[in-house]
Structure 1
Amino acid sequence: MGFWIMAAAVAGTAAGDAQAGVPLDEAQVERRLDEEIIVTGQRPTFRTEVVQVGAFRNQSILDTPASIAVIPRALLDAQGATGLEDALRNAPGVTQQATSPTTSNNFVSRGVLMNARTNYRLNGALQIVNLSPVPIENKQRVELLKGVSALYYGLATPSGIVNVVTKRAGDQPVTNVYANGDAEGSIGAGFDIGRKFGGNDQFGIRINGYSAHVETPIDGVNGYRYLASGAFDWQATERLSLKLDVEHYRRATDEPGGISLAAFQLLDHVPNPHSRYAPNNAPYRTWSTNVLGRADYALGGTWSVRAEAGLAQSRRQRSRADFSFDNRQDSLETGAGRIAGNYTPDQEYRNEYVRAEIAGRLPTFGIEHELLFGVARNRQVQEDQHQRNYTAVAQNFYNPRRIDFDDLVFTTTRLLPGSVNIDTGFYMLDIAHVGEKLLLIGGVRRVLYDTDDATGDYRMKAWTPTGGVVFKPTPKSSLYFTYIEGLESAGTAPAGTTNEGDILRPVLSKQIEAGARAEVAGALASVAYFHIDRGLDYINSANTYVVDGRAVHEGVEASLQGNLTPSLSVALSGQYLKATQDETGDATLDGRRVDNTPRWSASLFAEYRLPTLPDLGINAGAYYTGLRYADAANSLRMPAYTTYSLGMNYRLRLQGDRALTLRVNGDNLTNKRYWSTGGSIFYVGLARQVRFSASMDF
């Protein structure tokens, strides 16, 4: 979707203000993002006023012609969220595929997989690698821009862009230390320090650190993780501002083992969520470092330029263990089967990013044009990988036995050749303000996509247009319609397929979306209809990942987020999705539902603060995922499920500016058994969890 003017245009307006005599450090160079409430008389709110993803950065949500789910810090804290999976459960239609919730997350939105190397961004810019779980301790918010995002982001699947926004130094100094843990035995501690300093507060710094021992509800699956990050700001001159973000994080846990598609004779029998099928000490280790720099310079008049560059590096060691039943008549009753898999100790990925833009305003015949011209280049490198396969080992579905990783017998080594993908885009955008109520949007991107892999070199060229309109009947409501085309990576063949690791060539996708937004009390209500036509990727009957035919994803989604009363905050949303296969060349597949796509899904969360005791918050939530099919033929059903959460927090005000906040949150309170992921390999959802934390503000 990303076709809205970015903050560079706002910076251009600020430059004009500066020339009129307003110092740039006092002008609104960027809209203020939601900041944390640090010992003030205000109460936290789940509502957000602006977005930062893509070209929407620092744009009013009411003026944004796209479906965007924003999960602010206040909502993350209320839910006791510890990772992206906790944040994105607030966005209906988001499921997971082929990975364990204890190791990494492959998310699916609107029935389309979000590519781990193209669909995740840091501060609306750098492509980060989501093969290593993204920490949120140093994040101010999580955003999900749903649908096609071609104009601004180039090649990415039309599922959506997940954007994580780092905490930055604000007007209020921040000194916070905290400790957290859970009933399984996890324990961690961290700190968050933010300051502005200098004669005119021209310098800003926000430092975060966190370390934890990790335990999970799965038997014997544990480990540790840590994070260190810094966000640095410098208003070098009235015209020039600089930003730098650096973060490094590591997670080391064990692989719990999945269930292969061939074992789904027991699809309606979800196994014990505490069961572990993988060998003990089967490693899942990740290391990630992200660096992003940005410079904004205000030119004369209303024009400005922006330059960004960044590097995302990730390394992973992964052992897979996939369970399947023996070919015996009594195996379903006895649970007799085996695990087979591999170990890849050297998975290394690198994304190199650079972008330059010029933006400004140009009035013509009473119409105010906001213009944006830019060029962006993303270079993705995947190094050669050596995958070692091991001999199948006996295992039991109902009573898993202990297997030591060191006892596995490795037989063959398979080379997974590396690849280099370079996505270069030249784009232009015009947003015409016709009066105060109407916006007309038009833009186009020239795509040059180069790939060098084991199958050879090739270049793909394309023009991807964007168009839309926004109408504001009142200052507190808006209607919009958009059309956008984009190239998407067809993705990488997932684990367990015959062509595992193969990168498929890009395909064209088209999307239309129409929506409406309005303020209701202190909350924002949204509703949208979407229709996506894209290449169909699935695992065929030969267990090969292919792109064959078309998939049509259409549906309606609605949300209500914010404070309905001074005491009641809500985050409610739901989605109806109809995703069907077409033109597959196989009559048994045409018209069937795309695998792993629930028809209905919903997320309901509310927090209430007693008027007589506003520092006490009580919250509850429900998260529903409808029936999904596990295969393209729709012969294997994954039952619908609902999980429930309950939580409480209390803020104890101490002398001076100190405050102690205590939280406890419980998830999956009924201990519901459910399949959390679809795809080629399936994992059971986590059992009941109880988390707690204590946080001190100084």
Structure 2
Amino acid sequence: MSIWLIAASAAGIAADGPLPTALPDQGQIERRLDEEIVVTGQRPTFKTDVVQVGAFRNQAILDTPASIAVIPRALLDAQGAIGLEEALRNAPGVTQQATSPTTSNNFVSRGVLMNARTNYRLNGALQIINLSPVPIENKQRVELLKGVSALYYGLATPSGIVNVVAKRAGDRPVTSLYINGDAEGSVGAGFDIGRKFGSDERFGVRINSYSAHIETPIDGVNGHRYLASGAFDWQASDRLSLKFDIEHYRRATDEPGGIALAAFRLLDDIPDPHSRYAPSNAPYRTWSTNALGRADYALGDAWSLRAELGLAQSRRQRSRADFSFTSAATVESGAGRIAGNYTADQEYRNEYVRTEIAGKLPTFGIEHELLFGFARNRQIQEEQNQRSYAPVAQNFYDPRRIAFDSLTFTTTRVLPRSVNIDTGFYMLDIAHVGEKLLLIGGVRRVLYDTKDSTGDYRMKAWTPTGGIVFKPTPRSSLYFTYIEGLESAGTAPAGTTNEGDILRPVLSKQIEAGGRIEVAGALASLAYFHIDRGLGYINDANIYVVNGTAIHEGVEASLQGHVTPQLSVALSGQYLKATQQETGVATQEGKRIDNTPRWAASLFAEYHPPILPDLGVNAGLYYTGLRYADALNAYVMPAYTTYSLGANYRLTLSNDRAVMLRVNGDNLTNKRYWSTGGAVFYVGLARQVRFSASMDF
């Protein structure tokens, strides 16, 4: 089946019956996600056969010339995941930077920061804004396409693209009610309903809703969140299909307070993870709405058209509180102060449009899968008023209660409105030379416009892509790719002098070579990568700059799926060498890039005893190696390992009803570790125990 030919029928959430040995080769049928096809008598697997991200949408993973981590619903459920942080811990080397794990996620992959406004996608398409934590209750899977992704996505950092795929209505009706909570006192409830209806079941609807009260292990940090979403499908004719997704989610918590780099440098031990330094009721509030429409029209058996239109809006009220000691002499007593700011009017909007024509063209025994497209992303950041407050006395070891209303705001910094427009024209050819060889070539014409208070700026570039996939056997593949891309040099992070400033784009280059092989019921992968990009770091004046070259190279390996009928695993590891070059600073040259672990690994396994197959027991290990906190490698964030345990039991009732009970514990040894690096540091969460119960009708 062509990887580009677009469906005229909606993908389902589940289908009974045996797994087909071959997929139909028709232009009007879209390849289903692997977890949408249920093999009778077997449990869902951690293994993935199909990817949904970017230009690789609906392509067999063995044919995909890139390193992709896919976290399917079965794995998310087994781990009791409640957000992207729990999902992406299955992709080693993913760390966080300069944000609290209780408020938002600022991920780093392959040692490169993921831009919150360009590197997150809904259904492989719409740029969603990750300043508000992305919910996963209504998602079927989470994917991380690692490295440069310029051909399809335009400007994005070469860390990777996080793609969240929405649940959709399928052949089987879905009615699920669930509750969950944790030992801290959090409690939530939601429902998931999916149906197909109408003549020939041409309409599909999937509705999800969730609401929760949040408690965290950090003293006095709590709040609430809720989600409402709908995924709608209409098979309008044999040739035309329409899809529409909309979701709205809110989250309100308190800011826990971070530790400024100046204070971090004076610490010998990792602080108490329960401590809150920020004022009480210091708000962190987010509101997000994402809407995405898509139309597919089959021109025949070989060619099709696709059009997509989307809007992502996010609003945030953010307070910051960074602790620093009064002086080095007060470290023992803990005497210090907090300082920070409050921004009540952070508003962001992404406007998205894409059109494509795709199809097959056989020439001289070679079958070409061609894609021609146009995409435009318009990013808007409205003017913001950031109010700083006078430093307030605080004790590091015995934090006192400070009322947010008691703060004295002294200065206001205006962050001007900015508009970035990323326009791209692209083409891609995947040439099938026989059954074993795929040759890949493509190029994107980039037109990037920036409009802000300093004036207008336009950047033009051609970004090529080339690669080869060789399949020695039907169940194995080897690949090599070369990709160039433009990336935003990023936004100056919290705590820097130029916080909030957006830097000009820079060029990234990547080569990657890897291989995959199916082993029993699992997929094993191995990849080498080398990324050459502009170097961004915080200099001695606490200013975020781009100066010099960053070289990121390493090796990744993974094994995911059933290794026996009773044992499922998700194992992966990464070796990363990320160094600074051509900085012009002798003491910095050749040093490791800050917040980049040399080694990282995740190991997770679930076992179902043959004598009690409805019972599942699981365990996990997550390791992050030593990281440096600064560009000169003078200060260290030690390596750490956290452990998890879990169990689940499925109780079958009458009338096709079932109850699933789950319990999961994370960081069971109460390990103290630094969760994030950057200009501001946050301690990782203390031990957590989560539980859930769901009933399927």
TM-score by length of 2: 0.96
Distance apart, 1:36 and its partner CA: 6.1
2:354 is equivalent to residue 339 of structure 1: no
Within 5 Å, give how 1:58-77 maps onto structure 2.
58-77=58-77
- The answer for the alignment partner of 1:315 in structure 2 is 315
Output the amino acid matched with 1:619. Answer: N
Is 1:572–2:568 an aligned residue pair? no
C-alpha distance after superposition, 1:141-200 (max 9, x if no partner): 000000000000000000000000000011111000000000000000000000111110
Amino acid at match of 1:187: V
The equivalences for 1:253-272 within 5 A come to: 253-272=253-272
Deviation at 1:7, TM superposition (A): 3.8
Residue 17 (structure 1) aligns with: none
Residue by residue over 1:230-257, the C-alpha shift from the partner in whole angstroms, topping out at 9 and shown as x without a partner, is 0000000000000000000000000000
The aligned counterpart of 2:648 is: 649
What residue is the counterpart of 1:80 in the other structure?
80
* Residue 37 to residue 667, structure 1, CA distance change in 2 (3 Å): farther
The 3-state SS of whatever aligns with 1:75 is helix
> In structure 1, the residue corresponding to 2:331 is in which secondary structure?
helix
SS of 2:674's equivalent?
coil
> Measured at CA, do residues 10 and 554 of structure 1 come closer, stay the same or move farther in structure 2, by a change above 3 Å?
farther
Name the counterpart of 1:441: 440
| Aligned counterparts of 1:595 and 1:192: Cα–Cα separation in 2 | 42
2:296 is aligned to 296
Aligned equivalents of 2:545, 2:449: Cα separation in 1: 20
* % identical aligned pairs: 84
Q: Counterpart of 2:503 in 1: which secondary structure?
A: coil
Shift of 1:25: 13
SS in 2 for 1:584: coil
- How many Å separate the matches in 1 of 2:269 and 2:345? 36
1:37–1:445 Cα change, 3 Å: closer
Equivalent positions of 1:411-450 (< 5 A) are 411-450=410-449
Q: Does the 8 Å contact 1:5/1:56 carry over to 2? A: no
1:429 and 1:353, CA in 2 relative to 1: closer, same or farther beyond 3 A?
same
- AA aligned to 1:543 is N
Q: Residue in 2 aligned with 1:20? A: none
Structure 1 segment 382-393 matched on structure 2, within 5 A:
382-393=381-392
Matches within 5 A, 1:178-217: 178-217=178-217
Unmatched tracts of structure 1, length 5 or more: 15-23
Distance in 2 of aligned mates of 1:632 and 1:10:
49
After superposition, what is the alpha-carbon deviation per residue over 1:194-244, rounded to whole angstroms, capped at 9, x for unaligned? 011111011100000000000000000000000000000000000000000
Equivalent in the alignment of 2:176: 176
Can you list the C-alpha shifts for 1:532-576, whole angstroms capped at 9, x where unaligned? 000000000100000000000000000000000000000000000
Structure 1 pair 300/265, CA: closer, same or farther in 2 (3 Å)?
closer
For 2:467, the equivalent position in structure 1 comes to: 468
Aligned residue for 1:272, secondary structure, equals coil
- Cα distance in 2 between the residues matched to 1:643 and 1:28: 47
CA positional deviation for 1:585: 0.7
Contact kept in structure 1, 2:266 and 2:328, CA below 8 Å: no
1:339-396 deviation line (CA, Å, top 9, x unaligned):
0000000000000000000011111111111111000000000000001110100111
Give the Cα separation in 1 of the matches to 2:8 and 2:529.
Answer: 32
Q: Is the 8 A contact 1:11 1:304 kept in 2?
A: no
Q: Which amino acid aligns with 1:385?
A: Q
Q: Please, which runs of 5 or more residues in structure 2 have no aligned partner?
A: 12-23
1:503 aligns with 2:502: yes
Give the C-alpha shift of residue 517 in structure 1.
Answer: 0.1
Secondary structure, counterpart of 2:76 in structure 1: helix
8 Å Cα contact 2:48-2:72 kept in structure 1: yes
How big is the shift at 1:39? 12
Measured after TM superposition, the shift of residue 41 of structure 1 is 2.8
Note if contact 2:8-2:241 (Cα within 8 Å) is conserved in structure 1. Answer: no
1:158 aligns with 2:158: yes
Return the offset for 1:42. Answer: 2.1
AA aligned opposite 1:317: Q
1:394 is aligned to 393
- CA–CA separation in structure 2 for the residues paired with 1:6 and 1:634: 45
Superposed CA offset, 1:436-489 (max 9, x none): 000000000000000001221110000000000000000000000000000000
1:243 aligns with 2:224: no
Q: Is the 8 A contact 1:621 1:646 kept in 2?
A: yes
Match of 1:97 in 2: 97
Q: 2:317, 2:344 within 8 Å by CA — same for their partners in 1?
A: yes
Q: Structure 1 residue 479 and structure 2 residue 481: aligned? A: no
Aligned length: 684
Higher deviation after alignment, 125-134 or 31-40: 31-40
Question: CA separation in 2, counterparts of 1:190 and 1:37?
Answer: 25
Task: Write the distance in 1 (CA, Å) between the matches of 2:669 and 2:323.
Answer: 27
Q: What do residues 649-680 of structure 1 show as CA deviations (whole Å, max 9, x unaligned)? A: 00000001100000000000000000000000
Please show how residues 490-639 of structure 1 align to structure 2 within 5 Å. 490-639=489-638
Q: Which amino acid aligns with 1:522?
A: G
Output the amino acid matched with 2:140: Q
CA 1:413–1:539 in 2, change beyond 3 Å: closer, same or farther?
same
Give the Cα separation in 2 of the matches to 1:337 and 1:40: 62
Note if contact 2:497-2:542 (Cα within 8 Å) is conserved in structure 1.
yes
- How far apart are residue 34 of structure 1 and its match? 3.2
The residue identity in structure 2 corresponding to 1:593 is R
| Inter-CA distance 171–185: structure 2 relative to 1 (3 Å threshold) | same
- Alpha-carbon shift at residue 266 of structure 1 (Å): 3.9
SS in 2 for 1:595: coil
* Mapped contact 2:8–2:240 kept (Cα < 8 A): no
Letter paired with 1:197:
F
Contact 1:38 1:174 in 2 (8 A): no
1:408 is matched with 407
Structure 1 residues 5, 344: closer, same or farther in 2, change over 3 A?
A: farther
Which amino acid in 2 is paired with 1:453? D
What is the CA distance between 1:332 and its match in structure 2? Answer: 1.2
Matched AA of 2:63: D
The residue identity in structure 1 corresponding to 2:594 is D
CA distance in 2: counterparts of 1:11 and 1:574, whole angstroms: 39
Cα deviation, residue 8, structure 1: 3.6
Paired residue secondary structure (1:80): coil
Q: Cα offset for 1:10? A: 6.9
* Alpha-carbon shift at residue 412 of structure 1 (Å): 1.1
Amino acid at match of 1:437: K
- Once the 2 structures are TM-superposed, how far is the Cα of residue 685 of structure 1 from its aligned partner? 0.1
Deviation at 1:265, TM superposition (A): 2.9
